[in-house]
Structure 1
C-alpha cells in the first residue's frame, strides 16, 4: 500500500462506547482527532453491543455491531476472537486495539495491527487487583505485545516496563504521547467560569483533585497536606472522581481531624442534590480553570492526563516525583514525593502566597502542554499506521 493510499482502519471500540473514565476518554479523543484531521480514511468502530457514550456523527466513522445471533449473544467472544472474520470480510487495512489487547487469531488474517499499552499495572502491582483479573489482564497483555505488528506506548515509562517485563525489542515499540481533548486548550471567559461555578456550587477559590478515589491516586495524603495548611490557607479541596474503595478511609481521617468542611466531594454533593453525580464534559475545562492549583500526586500512572488538562488551561500543577509523572509534567509542575504530605503542603503554600511563582507556573504549563497538542498526537499516530503498511 502506498503512503497516500486510502485506508479502512478498524478499532476495538468497546471502551469508546461504554467506558466513561480514562480508557474510554482516550479512545474517543483519538478516534475523533483522526477522523477530523485525516478525513480521507474510513474509521470502523467494532462495538460488541449498543452504547450511548460515543456519538461522533462524522461521515467517515462507521459503527460495526455483531450481526449473527450467536455473536450478539456472546458479544465478548465476538470482540475477542470472532471479529476477525468481520475484519477480513470488510476489507480492513489496519486494526488498532486501543487498550491492551487485540483479537485472538488476528495475525492469521494478515491484517497489520497496532496495540496501545497504557500501563502494565497488573504485571507490576498484582496486589492491587483481584487474582482472576490479574490472570486475564496478563494473558491479554502478553498476547498483544507478542503478536501486534507495533506497540504504541503512551510514555517512555510504559515502554521501559514492556521491554523489561516481556523482553520486547525496543524497535517494536513507539512512544506516542496522548493529548487532552481540544476543549481543554480553550481559555474560558469569566462568564463561562462563573456559570460553571454556580452550576456545581463550587467555592470562590479552591484546590482541585481529579481522579478515582483509590489508593494509588493518593487522596489521603493530599488531605493530610491540606490539614497541615489549614491555619495558613483557607482554600478547600474539590474532589472530582468516584469512589473506588478508598473514600471511607479518607472520610474517617477528615472526621478525626475535623476537616470535613474543607473537602468537597463533588459527585456526592451532586447526588445529595438529586442531580447526576458527575461533571458534564463540556464543563470540565472551566472547572479546571477555576482552580488555584490542581494536585495529582499519584504513586503510579501510565500517563497522567489531568496534568495536561490542567496545564493546557493555565492551571498550576502539583504532582509526583514518581512513575511517568515527571516525564509528562516536564519543568512546569511542583514535584512532591507522594509519601510526603509536607512536600505537597509546600507546593500549596508557594502557589497560594507567591503570585510571581504561580504566574511562572502557568506560563511554563502552557508551554509544556504544547508537546501534547491534538494535531501532534494525531500526526504521530497516523505516521505509526503508515509505517507498517
Structure 2
C-alpha cells in the first residue's frame, strides 16, 4: 500500500497539527513497515528529519506554481501511484485526475464554528468552505474524538457512517522515564519551586487560564505555565499584578520537548480548565507522565482524561480551587488516580493508534471491491 500525505503541517508546524502529522507518519512507518509513506510538500525542513530516516518514508516535492497545494498536490499523489491520499489538517486538494485514489481527511475540531467570536468573519468563511469541501470529497473522514465526530455531523452535515473516530497519541518523551540528573538540571534551569501545579497550552481565552489564576489566589500553591502568549495574556497579567501573585506564578519560555516531559513529571497536579477542545493532548501527556489531572467536564476532555481524572466546571473558579486543594493536600489520592490514569491512557499508545489507522485505510480500500 502506498499512502501519500499532505506534508505542509509535518514540515511547517512546531506544535499541534505538526505533532499530529509527525506522530502519525512515525507510528505507521514503525508498526506497518511493509507500506510506503510519501510526504508531499513544497520543501523539507529540520522538523521530522528523523522520521524521514525510516526506509519506507519518502519526501516528494510538489509541482511548482501558485496554489500548488490546492491544484497540483492531488494529481502528484495520483501520478506517484498512491492508493490513498490523507489530508492531515481538515483540507484536501481541489483538483484530481481520473486515476483512482482514495481520499481521507482528518478533522481535528470545528472550534471556529463553536466559538465564532475568536475568529474574523473572513477566517470563518474560509475555514468552513475548506472543511465542508474536504468532508464532501473524502471517501472517509477521521475525527480525533467522539466530540469532533458529533460536531462534523451537526455543522458539516456529514453522514455518521462516513466518519471514523481515531484518537491521537503524544510524543514518546512523555512515556519514557528520565534520570534524576535531568530533573535536577530542569529544576535549576527554570528555577522551579519544590512543589507546583502545571498548565500547558496557548494562553488564549478558550484555554481559560484566568480562572485557574483566580483559583490559586489565596492558596500559596505555585502555578507553572508553559504556552505561547496571545493578547489574552494581558488580562491574566493584570489580575496577577493586582492581586500580588507574581511570586506564585511562573511563565516559562523556550522549553524543549524533553524539558517539557520532565516538567510534567515534576508537577504534583496538571490543571487544564479549557472551555473546549477537539481532543486535549496535554491531558494524555500528563497521564503518560504519571501526573494527576484536573480538567473540564466539557467537550472531549472526559474522553482524554478517563474516569480517574478530577473534573471541574471551568466557569467556576471556586470549584477549580476546591478540587486543586483536595488533590494538593492528599498524596494517597493523587497516587491512586495516577496509577488508574496510567492504565487508562494505554489506549492512546502508539501501537493501538497505528493499528486503528491501518484498519481505517484498509476499510477505505475495500470499498473498491464492491
TM over 0.5: yes
Q: Does 1:245 align with 2:231?
A: yes
Task: Note if contact 1:18-1:52 (Cα within 8 Å) is conserved in structure 2.
Answer: no
Q: Does 1:330 align with 2:306?
A: yes
Aligned residue for 1:99? Answer: 89
Aligned residue for 1:136? Answer: 126
Distance in 1, matches of 2:132 and 2:98, equals 17
Task: Note if contact 2:62-2:72 (Cα within 8 Å) is conserved in structure 1.
Answer: no
Moved over 3 A (4+): 106-109
Aligned residue for 1:65? Answer: 61
Shift of 1:122: 1.6
TM-score, structure 1 normalization: 0.90
Aligned residue for 2:243? Answer: 257
Aligned residue for 1:275? Answer: none
Task: Note if contact 1:207-1:294 (Cα within 8 Å) is conserved in structure 2.
Answer: yes
Aligned residue for 1:24? Answer: 18
Shift of 1:291: 0.4
Shift of 1:150: 0.5
Aligned positions of 1:1-389 closer than 5 A:
7-55=1-49, 56=51, 57-68=53-64, 71=65, 74=66, 77-106=67-96, 109-230=99-220, 235-267=221-253, 278-389=254-365
Please give the per-residue CA displacement for 1:181-227, whole angstroms capped at 9, x wherever unaligned: 22211233323222222233322221110000000000000100010
Please give the per-residue CA displacement for 1:37-96, whole angstroms capped at 9, x wherever unaligned: 11111111111333222212222111122344xx2xx3xx11122112211211111011
Shift of 1:109: 4.3
Segment of structure 1 superposing worse, 348-357 or 152-161: 348-357
Segment of structure 1 superposing worse, 113-122 or 211-220: 113-122
**What SS does structure 1 have at the residue aligned with 2:247?**
helix
Cα distance change on mapping 1:109 and 1:203 into 2, 3 Å: farther
Task: Note if contact 2:63-2:73 (Cα within 8 Å) is conserved in structure 1.
Answer: no
Distance in 2, matches of 1:349 and 1:252, equals 24
Please give the per-residue CA displacement for 1:136-172, whole angstroms capped at 9, x wherever unaligned: 1111100111110101101111101111112211111
Shift of 1:108: 5.0
Shift of 1:304: 0.2
Cα distance change on mapping 1:327 and 1:107 into 2, 3 Å: farther
Task: Note if contact 1:337-1:343 (Cα within 8 Å) is conserved in structure 2.
Answer: yes
Gaps of 5+ in 2: 366-370
Task: Note if contact 1:94-1:111 (Cα within 8 Å) is conserved in structure 2.
Answer: yes
* Alignment RMSD: 1.4
Please give the per-residue CA displacement for 1:6-35, whole angstroms capped at 9, x wherever unaligned: x11111111111111211111111111111
Distance in 1, matches of 2:115 and 2:341, equals 30
Cα distance change on mapping 1:49 and 1:245 into 2, 3 Å: farther
Task: Note if contact 2:272-2:295 (Cα within 8 Å) is conserved in structure 1.
Answer: yes
Task: Note if contact 2:83-2:100 (Cα within 8 Å) is conserved in structure 1.
Answer: no
Shift of 1:348: 1.4
TM-score, structure 2 normalization: 0.95
Distance in 1, matches of 2:98 and 2:145, equals 29
